[in-house]
Chains A and B, each alone.
Chain A
Amino acid sequence: MLYINCPHCGMRSQNEFSYGGDASVKRPELNKEVSDQEWDNFVYNRKSLRGKHLELWQHISGCRQWIKVERDTATHEIFRTFKADEEVA
């Protein structure tokens, strides 16, 4: 079970969180013309990376904040975590 550092609450077990997928996906702006390809990329197409992956988790049984977690998908090592509005350098 992963041990995730919620930037708001501290170290908490994985079972307090729910997974939210790739954090690098950006929703196209509202009312903007979007091509089929762009929209498909946003809704469906994901890279199933092996290695470092920036992903979303929600601290659902805690502060309910969505956070970003930089995690290795092969080793499960977690490198850094960020608040929703924090820029990831």
Chain B
Amino acid sequence: MTQAFRIENGGLINRDKKLSFKFNGKTYLGYEGDTLASALLANGVHLVGRSFKYHRPRGFFGAGVDEPYAVVQLYRNGETEPNIKATEQELFEGLEAKSVNCWPSVNFDIGAINNFLKIFLPAGFYYKTFMWPKSFWYRIYEPFIRKAAGLGVASTKHDKERYEHKYEYCDLLIAGSGPSGLAGAYAAAKNGAKVILAEDKPRFGGSLLTSDVNIGNQSGKDWAEGIIAELKTMPNVVVKNRSQIFGYYDHNMLVMSEKVSDHLPSTKKYHPNKRLWYIRAKEVLISSGSIERPIVFGNNDTPGVMLSSAAKEYLKVYGVLVGRKPLVFTNNDSGYETAIEFKKHGVDPVVLDSRKNPESEIIDEAKNLGINIKNSYVVVAAQGYKKVKSADIASISEDKKQLGKIENIQCDCICVSGFWTPTIHLASQSGNKTKFKEEIDAFVPGQSKQNEITLGAANGVFSLEETLKTSFTVGSELSKKITENDNKIAIPNVVEKKSSQHDKFWCVPLPKGKNYKRFLDFQNDVAVSDVEIALREGYRSIEHVKRYTTLGMATDQGKTSNLNGLQLVSEIENKVVPAVGHTTFRPPYTPVSIGAIVGREVGKHSKPTRKSPMHSWHEKNNAVFVDAGVWLRPRYYKRGNENLFEASKREAKNVRTNVGVCDVTTLGKIDIKGPDAAELLNRVYTNAWLKLPVGKARYGVMLREDGIVMDDGTTTRISENHYHMTTTTAQAANVLSHLEYYLQLVWPELNVNVVSTTEQWAGAAIAGPKSRDLLQKLFPNFDVSNEGLPFMGYMEGDLFGVKARIFRISFSGELAYEVNVESDYGNFMWEKIMEVGKEFNIQPYGTEALSTLRIEMGHVAGSELDGRTIPFDNALEGLVSKKKDFIGKRSLQRSAFIAEDRQRIVGVVPLDKKTSIPEGSHLVKDDKAPLPNPKLGHISASCWSVEYDNPFSLAILKDGKKMIGEKLFAMSPLKNKVIPVEIVSSHYVDPKGERVRS
């Protein structure tokens, strides 16, 4: 394939390296340094997609971030990504892309029938059209819309690419490497400031790459290259291309997306695809430049109609002619610069200027080159369906209301310039209240809100000389404040052509009898007529007009459409633009891939994983793990073909008959030291703590100030002023914060220190009737008899040379102990327990058996202490002191908390003694009652009782105390189950608690 529209020489592409790529299945050639857009244009391809609503043919409109049309589906290295702008995607060998929004193909598109039905798809059609009948929605409307609309298809496969996050701090962050960005960065860098300069494009230099200017006796482009080369050598400067600063957040935090690998056929080993930078900058220079705005005319969405600056960029940067018979339509001098470039490359453009008699150096140059210029002329409509073939043009009256006689002239592209719109997004995101600048018909930043200064074209300053002067000065001054260096920089001499005033003209009137679509928003297909309808239907606020018409709501966020939309609203409403106001600019400035936002926090890295010191033993012994908060805990140990139910039953049964061992390392542990430690516990827990002797443990319940149970656990008095508190696995961090809150803020007079020791101790619970025999063998030199180590007793022992803490506490309801050793010895302890326990038929048990054991004993846990229950509800009111005050006590007097029929924990057994009750089931009196069936309570936890060999559940039930013996129904609409049940005591096994004391 030839690149018929590539000029012989020129451009910044690497002509020594040809690349082959595919678009819609066809193979083309381009060069290294091309974008997908420039390479397609070099091959004469202008038709790239279909528009969103009417499926009209769409080509290229811009050459960069502002592109509204050329959105493609990209295929790279076996992956696919939607919503890629062809104007931003750099070419690489083997690139494949496809058009979106077209079905079955870009050349024959069924959706284009919308174009002929467009009277049915006016503004607000989303809200009006697909409403009735309701039954049509799922079957007809939605599948149709999904097929016909949208901007590509997201991959459903796991993304193999890696994305990184980086945190950075700097003195000056500079957004954009055009003339203002380069000057600001250079001046600040010379003063020794820590500078980050970010450029979204692959090449640095911004407008200097395409403008015909001289700085310090060099071309603008050469000057830019020199500055960048010098900045790159400086240790205090980070220079980043392919990096878009897309968000300006609170306290001068900016976020930048760096495309590390998108320009390569595949990502290099150990490299990320993208890197997201969180940058905290002392000062921010916004040098984001400006975007050319279109002039609105009939069929202005036809492929071949594009921004004049884009045409110039394709020519100067990529060596590509966007047409051989160009028509330039302008209201300012920028169009002439494009025309001059065409002429220099042997192409004869025609310039239509809406102005009557403009004069400037640039226009003189165009005239001297013999360019055909028509003043007071406009394009009325583009003609041609899939490509511009000609243009209807006419002269226009001075008031811009009357068109002269329509003439048709041949052309193959129309390059439009409606003057320049400063890119104020970042300033606006920072909180800067923008102001309307009459001379340029656009908004510019007003008073700085955070530490941001906007420079150059982004600030509405279009003179290079002024831009450089200001930017050098600002860079110098800001950095001087930070580094106290003051290196004066000579401001280089600038040669640029002076421009004349632009014409305040943005929309060509419709000729009589014609009803051309004149588009404002090219990506969302919003035309002048749509905004007119919205206003006619009573929408006034620009924010409402935006949402109703979807103007500016596409992925390009209206970069080319916003101001023209405002002009239209203000004209119809007879208001000035600043009174209409613009819609809010929100991050991100350009679409950011979800992968980059998520970073490395995917899959198992989406949260930290904590493992106990015995983890590898569990792994080796066929443990099946379960997430318990951030911990991985053995759920059960699989033997042969056992399933969860069989294994957990076996493990629980072995605890009830022999002895089991459970890894309880994950329990929260807090070391509490100080002369007032007992006083703190006394205030934090609901029961009394002042008289707990050394060497004893006590069970405690703590409340929040609103009376709700926060956590429970045992705390042991290790020595006079030293306590060891345990918390549930889930609440460990909250309890520590809770204690710190009271110690630091409420009772600073208490002399106590608290520190988390969860990770310092490995814990093993040894439970079952044979646990004492086992313990005696583990600690042969210690008296662990019922007298030597009674229930709730504590002692320190020696486990084959390792210091151990032994607590006689029980969660299973059996005779049980907990042994703690320093974490490093956890595995040693575990192996010793297993080895010595062999003769007692020891088995390890997991969280499932642990649950079974505690449920049938009626011990409460997280499923009952769910942030909605008070001590009474959990049958813990016996632990609530009447004598002393404690956190949350006053709340327990609330009327609902002392109501006669207050909810309370109960046991639940199915009448058939067979059917397990799903957790979360509701308890109701009458299973046939009309909905909503009054709920009396809910099932909080279910198990298979190994003691009685039938299902057993715990429930929180209204008036539970009086309900024992009642027959109710457990209903689970989710599982479609209705189970007749009997309410029993929550203490299903060993209600007197004799085993733990045996």
Contacts and interface: CB of A to CB of B under 8 A. Distances in A.
Interface of A: 1-3, 13, 18, 20, 27-28, 30-31, 34, 39, 42-44, 56, 58, 60, 64-66, 75-76, 78, 84-85
Nearest to B707: A43
B929 interface: no
A75 B278 CA distance: 20
B890 A2 contact: no
A43 B169 CA distance: 40
B891 interface: yes
Given A1-B278, A58-B737, A76-B250, A31 B885 contact: yes
A60 B249 CA distance: 22
Contact of A66 (B167, B740, B885, B891): B740
B358 interface: no
- Closest A-B pairs by Cβ, 9 of them: A3-B251, A30-B885, A84-B744, A66-B744, A31-B885, A76-B250, A1-B253, A39-B890, A27-B746
A27 B741 CA distance: 12
A62 B262 CA distance: 37
Interface string B720-761: 000000000000000001001100111010000000000000
Nearest to B746: A27
A15 to B, nearest CB: 10
B250 A2 contact: yes
B646 interface: no
Contact of A84 (B249, B748, B885): B748
B511 interface: no
Given A1-B250, A2-B250, A3-B280, A42 B745 contact: no
A84 to B, nearest CB: 4
Contacts of A31: 884-885
Contacts of B741: 20, 58, 66
A66 B431 contact: no
B253 A3 contact: yes
9 contacts: A1-B249, A3-B253, A13-B280, A31-B884, A44-B706, A66-B740, A66-B745, A76-B250, A84-B744
A58 B733 CA distance: 12
Given A3-B251, A30-B683, A66-B740, A42 B705 contact: yes
Interface string B874-918: 000000000011000011000000000000000000000000000
A1 B891 contact: no
A76 B251 CA distance: 8
Contacts of A60: 737
Contacts of A75: 431
B252 interface: yes
B40 to A, nearest CB: 40
Most chain A C-beta atoms within 10 Å of own C-beta, residue among B278, B431, B745: B745
Interface residues of B, number: 23
Contacts of B884: 31
A13 B252 CA distance: 11
Interface in B245-261: 249-253
B252 A3 contact: yes
Given A3-B251, A84-B744, A43 B891 contact: yes
Nearest to B449: A75
Contacts of B249: 1
A3 B748 CA distance: 27
A61 to B, nearest CB: 11
A2 B746 contact: no
B706 to A, nearest CB: 5
Contact of B251 (A2, A44, A56): A2
Interface in B80-129: none
B740 A58 contact: yes
Contacts of A43: 705-706, 891
Interface string B251-291: 11100000000000000000000000010100000000000
Contacts of A42: 705
A74 B746 CA distance: 28
A20 B745 CA distance: 11
Nearest to B733: A60
A84 B745 contact: yes
Contacts of A84: 744-745, 748
B740 A64 contact: yes
Interface in B844-891: 884-885, 890-891
Nearest to A56: B745
Given A13-B167, A84-B745, 17 more contacts: A1-B249, A1-B251, A3-B251, A3-B280, A27-B705, A27-B746, A30-B683, A31-B884, A34-B890, A42-B705, A58-B737, A58-B741, A64-B740, A66-B741, A75-B431, A78-B251, A84-B744
Nearest to B280: A3
A14 B884 CA distance: 39
Interface string B650-661: 000000000000
Contacts of A58: 737, 740-741
Contacts of B890: 28, 34, 39
A13 B249 CA distance: 12
Contacts of A85: 744, 748
A66 B431 CA distance: 30
A58 B745 CA distance: 11
A82 to B, nearest CB: 11
Most chain B C-beta atoms within 10 Å of own C-beta, residue among A2, A34, A60, A64: A64
A30 to B, nearest CB: 4
Contacts of A34: 890
A18 B884 CA distance: 31
B703 to A, nearest CB: 11
A56 B706 CA distance: 19
A2 B706 CA distance: 30
A58 to B, nearest CB: 6
A28 B887 CA distance: 11
B252 A65 contact: no
Contacts of B280: 3, 13
Contacts of B745: 56, 66, 84
Contacts of A20: 741
A2 B249 CA distance: 8
Interface in B281-330: none
Contacts of B278: 1
Nearest to B252: A3
Nearest to A42: B705
Interface in B697-720: 705-706
Most chain A C-beta atoms within 10 Å of own C-beta, residue among B705, B706, B884: B705
Nearest to B251: A3
A65 B741 CA distance: 9
A80 to B, nearest CB: 15
A30 B745 CA distance: 14
A84 B745 CA distance: 6
Contacts of B706: 43-44
Contacts of B705: 27, 42-43
A3 B683 CA distance: 35
B251 A39 contact: no
A41 to B, nearest CB: 12
B683 A65 contact: no
